[in-house]
Amino acid sequence: MKKQISVALLGLALLFASAAVASAQAAAAMRIHVPFDFVAGKKLLRAGDYSVRRVSDAAASGLIIQREDGGDAAVVITNANGGAPSRAALTFRQYGEHYFLAEVSIPGTASVRRLPKDGAEKKAERETVEEAANGGGEARTVTVVGSVR
């Protein structure tokens, strides 16, 4: 009798664990409409509807950003930046007409993810600083809110 109860309890525990994993996986992805072209992982992505998710459940640092129509896609490596996200959002650094993906916030994940600046972004940043010194434009941060899948 004890063995049957133990097996039943183990089965229930596995069922709840599976449901928790499925829930976490579902929460670790989002849909978002980006209204402008942007750079992510050294790749130019066109304006449109995107899904953003982790490359795998085991690796929080790798993210896939893929156009919903199956077109453009980029894989990026990120670093943890702050606590658990409260909303689904992408944050961009804007230099003139150029947008670079800076942060990814997906509710259900452990932390907001930050992308490091690459060479092209550093160049755009330098040019924007020079323009600002001469009375021109300045760098901005733009956040686009999405929805959890």
User: The whole model's pTM is what?
Assistant: 0.78
* Measured CA distances, 105 to 93, 96, 122 (Å): 15, 24, 23
> Are the beta carbons of 118 and 77 closer than 8 angstroms?
no
Lowest mean pLDDT among 6-10, 135-139, 145-149: 6-10
Q: What is residue 19's predicted lDDT score, i.e. its pLDDT? A: 38
The tokens for 99 are 């947008």
Nearest CA-CA partner of 122 in 105, 104, 102, 136:
102
Q: What confidence category does residue 25 fall into, taking pLDDT thresholds of 50, 70 and 90?
A: very low
pLDDT tens digits for 91-127? 999 999 999 999 999 998 889 999 999 999 999 999 9
Check whether 8 has a pLDDT greater than 50.
no
The tokens for 25 are 């996986």
Give, in degrees to the nearest 5, the angle at Cα 92 between 31 and 75: 60
